[in-house]
Amino acid sequence: MSVNRDRKRGTWMVQVRYRDMFGVWHKTTKRGFKAKSEAKAWEASFRARMDGMLDMVFSQFYEVYAEDMRPRLKESTWATKEHMIRTKILPYFADMKMCDIRPADVVRWENWLLSLDLSPTYVRTIVNQLSAIMNHAVRFYRLPANPVLAAGKVGSKRPEQEMKFWTPEEYRLFSESVADKPDVYHAYDIMYFTGLRVGELLALTPASIDLDRSLILVRGTYQRIKGKDTITSPKTKHSVRDVLMPDFLRDELADYLATRPDLKADERIFAFTAHRLRHEMKRGAEAAGVKPIRIHDLRHSHAALLIDLGFSAQVIADRLGHSTVEVTSTYSHLFPSVQQSLAAALNEVGAAHER
């Protein structure tokens, strides 16, 4: 490896020879460094990476981690990770050498996170992300151990607040208060009566609506990423699904689409972001005099409605794009009638046994 002045460009460059995993030698040149120190730092990072050693600082290894992981993840998933790492992990560990980060350093960082008044679940998510980076270093770059595992994890795996949802009567009052704005009115109706995620709703196009079969075809999810409207594949493999609409919702949606004849088949029906839905939801709840809930709680409201109507966890899971285990875990406290029926059946068995 060598660091030299690029006289044509007036910058610094690094020329390196390295051997890949198959033992084949390669030569590459990295140009454009404004200072010799920058070129030397890149050279040291490259050498450490090729040697499988962790004598580089955390910020340098983050670039390695990003290069390894970004191609494997959805754009929206990586954007979320990147924001978390740059705002909550790099500010603390950026200049520390990977091989020098100790469990005590992680404990002090976790205490710093706890001082930021973040939700317990978000704190746990951030800690898990640091652990994922360290695991990557252990698995592929010879870091001896993951210091996060020795330090222990703070935060909570699940939200501590009580799940909120609207009953059919509460939703009726709310929907009447937003009826003056047809686009959000129909958006809320779809979410409450089908259980779609907000990203799935905002990705819908006329091509997603099969009025003849009363189906909504969930094939994508919308996110605003770095100022751009982005449609990506759904959250999980379970999320790709066809959701049957009740007749009244199908008819409402047909009437609404008829008022927008210029809408192309691949154009978003609801061409706004979740911010507008949150704003109108707060306004409508206040006007209707119902308790405030989050947009995602409309999905919980749909699940609660189906449970109250007596549908099984499997049916609800298929409709929501969840696994049955997720539905059972998330909504187990909303299945009292099932528990009562179960207890009654066991009582009958017990009574027969006593005879």
**How far is 134 from 64, CA to CA, in rounded Å?**
12
Q: Which residues are 209's β-sheet partners?
A: 216
CATH number for region 52-161? 1.10.150.130
Instruction: For the chain, give every domain's residue range.
Output: 1-41, 52-161, 168-337
Higher pLDDT, residue 256 or 227: 256
Residue with tokens 């409309």: 298
**How far is 35 from 227, CA to CA, in rounded Å?**
32
pLDDT band of residue 337 (cuts 50, 70, 90) is low
Q: Cβ atoms within 10 A of the Cβ of 226, count?
A: 9
**50-59, 135-144, 237-246, 329-338: the lowest-pLDDT one:** 329-338
Fold identical between 52-161 and 168-337?
no
Residue from 61, 26, 36 nearest 46 by CA:
61
Identify the three-state secondary structure at position 105. Answer: helix
**How far is 294 from 317, CA to CA, in rounded Å?**
21
**How far is 200 from 340, CA to CA, in rounded Å?**
35
State the pLDDT at residue 181.
96
- Do the beta carbons of residue 285 and residue 293 sit within 8 Å? yes
Residue 280, token pair as written in the block: 């109108």
Which CATH architecture best describes the domain 168-337?
Answer: Orthogonal Bundle (1.10)
**How far is 32 from 320, CA to CA, in rounded Å?**
50
How do residues 9-58 score in pLDDT, each as one tens digit? Answer: 889 999 887 765 455 777 888 889 999 999 888 887 777 666 655 678 89
CA dihedral (202, 306, 161, 296) in degrees, to 10, reads 0
* Strand 11-19, strand 25-33: pairing: antiparallel
Residue type, 52: G
**Helix-strand-coil percent breakdown of the chain, rounded to 5?**
55, 15, 30
> Mean pLDDT throughout 134-158?
85
- Do the beta carbons of residue 145 and residue 138 sit within 8 Å? yes
DSSP state of 32: E
State the pLDDT at residue 70.
92
Residue 61, token pair as written in the block: 């290894």
Dihedral sign for Cα 240, 242, 244, 245, please.
positive
